[in-house]
Amino acid sequence: MANLILDERDQKFVLFEMLGAEKLCDAPKYAEFSQDMFEMILSEAQKFAVEEVLPTLAESDKVGCKLIDGQVHVPECFQRTYKLFCEAGWNCMSFPPEHGGQGLPFLIRVAAHEWFTHNFSFVSYPGLGEGAAHLIESYGTAGQKDKFLPDMMTGKWGGTMCLTEPGAGTDVGNLSTRAIRQPDGTFLIKGTKMFITGGDHDLAENIIHPVLARIEGDPAGTKGISIFLVPKFLINEDGSLGARNDFEIAKIEEKMGIHGSATCVINFGDNGACKAELLGQEREGMKIMFQMMNEARISTGLQGLCSASIAYLHALQYAKERVQGASLMNFGNAEAPRVNIIEHPDVRRNLLWMKANVDSLRALMYYATICGDRAMAASDDAELDKWMGIFEVLTPICKAYTTDIGFRVTETAMQVYGGYGYCSEYPIEQFMRDEKIASIYEGTNGIQSLDLVGRKLGMKKGTYFMHMLGEMNSTVAKAKGNQAVKDLADDVQAGITALTDMSLFFASCAKAGKFLIPVGNAYPFLMMMGKIISAWMLLWQADIASSKLASLCSEKGADAADQAALTNLAKESREIAFYDGKVKAARYFIKNVLPEIEGTIRAIKSEDLSIVHISQESFA
| Residues linked to residue 191 through DSSP beta bridges, in sequence order | 268
Based on the fold, state whether residues 36 and 117 are members of the same structural domain: yes
530 and 587 assigned to the same domain: yes
Same-domain check for residues 527 and 546: yes
Instruction: Based on the fold, state whether residues 136 and 200 are members of the same structural domain.
Output: no
The pLDDT value recorded for residue 580 is: 97
pLDDT above 70 coverage of the chain, percent: 100
CB contact at 8 A, 80 and 52: yes
Q: What is the DSSP letter of 483?
A: T
Query: Does pLDDT of 284 surpass 70?
Result: yes
- Cβ atoms within 10 A of the Cβ of 372, count? 23
Q: Is 442 part of the annotated catalytic residue set? A: yes
Query: Which of 229, 264, 282 corresponds to the end of one domain?
Result: 282
- Burial of 612 by CB count in 10 Å (0-12 exposed, 13-18 middle, 19+ buried)? exposed
Q: Is the pLDDT of residue 1 over 60?
A: no
pLDDT at 332 over 90: no
CA distances from 46 to 52, 277, 315, 585 (A): 10, 40, 20, 25
Mean pLDDT of 351-360: 98
The domain of 578 spans 447-608
Q: Select the highest-mean-pLDDT range: 168-172, 329-333, 501-505.
A: 501-505
CATH number reported for the structural domain that contains residue 165 in this entry: 2.40.110.20
Whether residue 141 is found in the same domain as residue 236? no
Listing DSSP states for 287-356 in one string gives HHHHHHHHHHHHHHHHHHHHHHHHHHHHHHHHHHH-EEEE-GGGTT-TTSPEEEGGGSHHHHHHHHHHHH
Q: What is the dihedral of CA 180, 288, 128, 170, to 10 degrees?
A: 80
Q: Are residues 587 and 466 in the same domain?
A: yes
Of 579, 586, 572, the closest CA to residue 549 belongs to 579
- Output the average pLDDT for the chain: 96
Last residue of a domain, one of 118, 153, 188: 153
Q: How far apart are CA 368 and CA 350, in angstroms?
A: 27
Verify that 262 and 278 share a domain, yes or no. yes
Q: Report how many domains make up the chain.
A: 3
Question: What would the pLDDT profile of 16-58 be if each residue is shown by its tens digit?
Answer: 999 999 999 999 999 999 999 999 999 999 999 999 999 999 9
Q: With respect to residue 356, please indicate whether it lies within any of the assigned structural domains.
A: no
Is residue 331's pLDDT more than 80?
A: no
Q: Is position 322 within any domain?
A: no
Instruction: Give the whole-angstrom CA distance, residue 260 versus residue 252.
Output: 11
Note the pLDDT tens digit of each residue in 536-579.
999 999 999 999 999 999 999 999 999 999 999 999 999 999 99
Q: How confident is the model at residue 334 (pLDDT cuts 50, 70, 90)?
A: confident
Q: Among 102, 136, 153, identify where a domain stops.
A: 153
Residue 345 forms part of a structural domain: no
- The answer to whether residue 372 is domain-embedded is no
Q: How confident is the model at residue 586 (pLDDT cuts 50, 70, 90)?
A: very high
| Position 2 pLDDT exceeds 60 | no
Instruction: Determine the average pLDDT of the residues in 599-620.
Output: 95
Q: Are residues 40 and 112 in the same domain?
A: yes
Q: Are residues 456 and 580 in the same domain?
A: yes
Q: Which of 54, 89, 61 is nearest to 75 (CA)?
A: 61
pLDDT at 383: 96
Residue 395 lies in a domain: no
Kindly state whether residues 83 and 222 are assigned to the same domain.
Answer: no
Out of 165, 343, 392, 442, which one is annotated catalytic?
Answer: 442
Has residue 3 got a pLDDT over 90? no
The CATH number covering residue 141 comes to: 1.10.540.10
DSSP for 409-446 reads HHHHHHHHHGGGGGSTTSTHHHHHHHHHGGGTSSS-HH
Q: Are strands 66-68 and 71-73 parallel, antiparallel or unpaired?
A: antiparallel
Percent of the chain with pLDDT over 90: 94
3-state helix, strand, coil in the chain (%, to 5): 60, 10, 25
Instruction: Tell me the mean pLDDT in the region 444-461.
Output: 95
* 227 lies in the same domain as 111: no
Shared domain check, 231 and 123? no
Give the length of the chain: 620
327 vs 592, higher pLDDT: 592
pLDDT of 293 reads 86
* Three-state DSSP state, 379: coil
